[in-house]
């Protein structure tokens, strides 16, 4: 997870503080409110120090860390208030006003963004929330701890990093629309660093990019400086055609342009509905880097080809598909996902000994046909035998909080999966992972060989030879 470093700089009449003199801070309170996501509605208050800040061109890059390339922290500015958004649509509020529209600035490592008198940058994932005061030409840093409330904020922001909301503000989604994709395009500006020509060139390039973004009528796409040598174009597009026009313009402007596509949870949900509609038990996941991944088993190559084609037409070429064999872990994933997607609430799925997956669900009379369809689909698609045992009868009705629940039925379902094992001369069976009498562990069983492990040393034995 990422943390935030707030940097302040004292200046007097355009000059830095004399060495040895401390700045006189003005105390004020910064209130953060989580707008959505995991901790929606929570409020915390942080006491800060405020200093007079020079122009943004004089900002010092105090952090140099590229280990957090995927972290994205978005700051929305409007009328003296700000909203910090982490990983797409998770937000916290600064000030008393909820900012509905405003400039979206994406903060990356090595970048400082100035909001009023406060600068934000992203630091190392393992670092603590800290405050740094810089007040001389030698850039000497004096660090001091901030209250535990600041640590709580840092932990909240970190925990929200991988949480994706279903209702992004300012955007409407329908079906598997391309508007769920965030365009993140970096254009390299100049090869030189720190010269006046670089500063002038950055301004010129930003104005040029902003001009054709405005011409393309892209209200949710913003332009900001990612670093001294990079310009960042980020935001949301409403259609796939808008994305193509934007990328074409930027790549024509600079051949070094690169693009990354980010998917939010709304698109992930739409893809899940599409898969269930077509009888494909694949689990869509949004990875930490924002890409969409489909995990599961596809019956044949033709279905794989059709799926890739359909998804590319609907949401673009961002799909990664892992075709996995049926294992207890994959079977659990399938069953858990299917029960959740069909709207069943009272169920639990867990792994048991012997390579079995057990699911227990309390179903209303209306939900029984839903389970029957899931059971039939699993048995037909994957040839997985499902043993179904019914608990609860007229003699022993199900109870909840002491009350008889006559309209509920409890199913205990066991999915048995074949497991690889070998039979030794003494007739004993050993499954993968078992420890033999010699002390070696049976690491892997294949069709023509077995692999034993002893203290990290592997021994390979050919079968039948």
CATH classification of the domain holding 300: 3.30.70.920
More confident residue, 447 or 19: 447
* Average pLDDT for 81-97: 35
Task: Tell me which H or E stretch contains 86.
Answer: strand 81-86
Residue at 77 is within a domain: yes
DSSP per-residue letters across 388-424: EEEE--SSS--EETTEE-TT-EEEEEEEE----EEE-
> Are 259 and 333 in the same domain?
no
In total, how many domains does the chain have?
4
- pLDDT band of residue 265 (cuts 50, 70, 90) is low
Q: Each residue of 224-259: b (16+ CB within 10 Å) or e?
A: bbbbbbbbbbbbbbbebebbebbbebbeeeeeebee
- Comparing C-alpha atoms, which of 320, 291, 364 is closest to residue 70? 291
Question: What is the per-residue pLDDT for 127?
Answer: 24
Would you place residue 326 in the very low, low, confident or very high pLDDT band (cuts 50, 70, 90)? Answer: low
Query: Is residue 437 exposed (0-12), middle (13-18) or buried (19+ Cβ within 10 Å)?
Result: exposed
* Banded model confidence at residue 204, pLDDT cuts 50, 70, 90: low
Percent of the chain clearing pLDDT 70 (strictly above): 14
**pLDDT at residue 311 in the model:** 67
Report the alpha-carbon distance of residue 364 to residue 409 in Å, rounded: 7
Q: Is residue 165 part of a domain?
A: no
What are the residues whose beta carbons fall under 8 Å from the beta carbon of 106, sequence distance 6 or more?
72, 73, 74, 184, 224, 226, 232, 234
Listed in sequence order, the residues at least 6 apart from 227 whose beta carbon sits closer than 8 Å to its beta carbon are 61, 108, 110, 111
What distance in Å separates the CA atoms of residue 134 and residue 62, rounded to the nearest whole number? 9
Q: Which of 111, 139, 160 is the last residue of a domain?
A: 160
What does the alpha-carbon distance between residue 17 and residue 136 come to, in Å, rounded to a whole number?
A: 6
- Are 128 and 3 in contact by the 8 Å Cβ rule? The answer is yes
Asked if residue 118 is part of any domain, the answer here is yes
Any domain includes 401: yes
Mean pLDDT of 165-172: 23
Residue 39 and residue 58 in one domain: yes
DSSP single-letter state for residue 22? P
What is the reported pLDDT for 6? 31
Residue where one domain finishes, among candidates 122, 138, 160: 160
On whether residue 295 sits in a domain, the answer given is: yes
The listed range with the strongest mean pLDDT (325-329, 363-367, 419-423) is 363-367
Same domain, 206 and 297: yes
What are the E-state strand segments in 98-243? 103-107, 113-115, 118-123, 130-134, 141-144, 181-188, 221-225, 230-236
Mean pLDDT taken over the chain: 50
Q: What is the pLDDT of residue 314?
A: 59
**HSE-up of 32 (CA within 13 Å, CB side)?**
21
317 or 203, which is more confident?
203
Instruction: Report, as an integer, the average pLDDT of 87-101.
Output: 33
pLDDT digits (tens, 9 = 90+) for 329-362: 666 766 776 676 666 666 677 766 555 667 766 6
Q: Which residues pair with 323 in a beta bridge?
A: 296
Query: Do 402 and 370 fall into the same domain?
Result: yes
**Is residue 408 domain-shared with residue 433, that is, in the same domain?**
no
196 φ/ψ angles, rounded to the nearest 5 degrees: -65, -35
pLDDT range class, residue 373, cuts 50, 70, 90: confident
Instruction: Please tell me whether residues 302 and 183 are part of one structural domain.
Output: yes
Do 65 and 127 share a domain, yes or no? yes
- In which residue are the tokens 């009023």 written? 116
Same domain, 12 and 151: yes
pLDDT at 47: 33
Residue 170 pLDDT more than 50? no
Mean per-residue pLDDT for 243-260? Answer: 61
- Whether residue 267 is contained in a domain is answered as yes
Q: Are 216 and 249 in contact (CB under 8 A)?
A: yes
Residues 238, 208 share a domain: yes
Query: What are 97's two structure tokens?
Result: 């006003």
Q: Is residue 166 included in any domain, yes or no? A: no
Helix (H) or strand (E) holding 312: helix 301-315
Q: What CATH number is attached to the domain comprising 376?
A: 3.30.1360
Q: How far apart are CA 423 and CA 9, in angstroms?
A: 73
| Residue 276 shares a structural domain with residue 335 | no
pLDDT tens per residue across span 131-144: 222 233 223 332 33
Q: How do residues 99-145 score in pLDDT, each as one tens digit?
A: 232 333 333 333 333 333 333 332 222 222 222 222 332 233 323 33
The residue segments making up the domain with residue 429 are: 421-462
For residue 252, name the pLDDT band (cuts at 50, 70, 90): low
Q: Does a structural domain hold residue 8? A: yes
- In the predicted structure, residue 76 carries a pLDDT above the cut 50: no
Write down the pLDDT at residue 70: 28
Do 298 and 304 form a contact (C-beta atoms < 8 A)?
yes
Same domain, 224 and 352: no
Domain's final residue, options 324, 344, 378: 324
Q: Do residues 23 and 76 share a domain?
A: yes
Q: What pLDDT does 2 receive?
A: 26
């Amino acid at each position: 997870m990422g943390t935030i470093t707030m940097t302040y700089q004292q200046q007097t009449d355009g000059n830095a503080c004399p060495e040895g003199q401390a700045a006189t801070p003005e105390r004020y309170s910064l209130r953060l409110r989580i707008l959505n996501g995991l901790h929606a509605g929570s409020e915390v208050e942080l006491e800060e120090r405020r200093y007079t800040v020079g122009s943004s061109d004089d900002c010092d890059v105090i952090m140099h860390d590229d280990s957090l390339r995927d972290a994205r922290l978005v700051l929305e500015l409007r009328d003296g208030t700000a909203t910090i958004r982490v990983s797409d649509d998770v937000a916290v509020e600064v000030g008393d006003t909820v900012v509905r529209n405003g400039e979206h600035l994406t903060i990356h490592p090595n970048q400082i963004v100035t909001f009023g008198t406060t600068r934000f940058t992203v630091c190392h994932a393992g670092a603590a929330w800290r405050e740094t005061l810089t007040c001389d030409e030698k850039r000497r840093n004096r660090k001091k701890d901030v209250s535990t409330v600041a640590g709580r904020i840092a932990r909240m922001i970190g925990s929200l990093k991988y949480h994706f909301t279903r209702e992004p503000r300012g955007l409407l989604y329908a079906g598997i629309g391309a508007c769920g994709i965030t365009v993140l395009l970096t254009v390299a500006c100049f090869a030189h660093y720190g010269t006046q020509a670089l500063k002038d060139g950055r301004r010129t390039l930003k104005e040029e990019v902003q001009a054709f973004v405005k011409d393309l009528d892209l209200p949710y796409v913003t332009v900001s400086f990612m670093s001294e040598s990079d310009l960042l174009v980020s935001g949301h597009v409403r259609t796939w055609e808008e994305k193509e026009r934007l990328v074409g313009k930027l790549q024509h402007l600079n051949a070094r342009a690169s693009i990354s596509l980010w998917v939010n949870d709304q698109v992930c949900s739409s893809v899940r509905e599409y898969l269930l509609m077509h009888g494909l038990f694949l689990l869509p996941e949004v990875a930490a880097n924002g890409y969409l991944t489909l995990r599961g088993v596809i019956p044949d190559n033709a279905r794989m080809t059709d799926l890739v084609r359909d998804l590319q037409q609907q949401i673009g070429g961002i799909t990664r598909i892992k075709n996995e064999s049926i294992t207890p872990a994959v079977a659990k994933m399938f069953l858990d996902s299917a029960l959740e997607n069909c709207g069943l609430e009272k169920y639990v799925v867990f792994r048991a000994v012997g390579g079995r997956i057990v699911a227990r669900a309390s179903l209303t009379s209306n939900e029984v046909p839903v389970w029957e369809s899931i059971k039939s689909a699993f048995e037909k698609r994957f040839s997985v035998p499902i043993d179904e045992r019914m608990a609860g009868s007229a003699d022993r009705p199900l109870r909840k909080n002491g009350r008889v629940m006559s309209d509920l039925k409890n199913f205990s379902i066991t999915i048995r999966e074949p497991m690889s094992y070998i039979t030794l001369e003494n007739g004993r069976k050993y499954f993968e992972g078992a420890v033999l009498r010699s002390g070696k562990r049976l690491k892997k069983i294949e069709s023509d060989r077995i692999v034993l492990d002893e203290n990290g040393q592997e021994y390979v034995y050919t079968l039948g030879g």
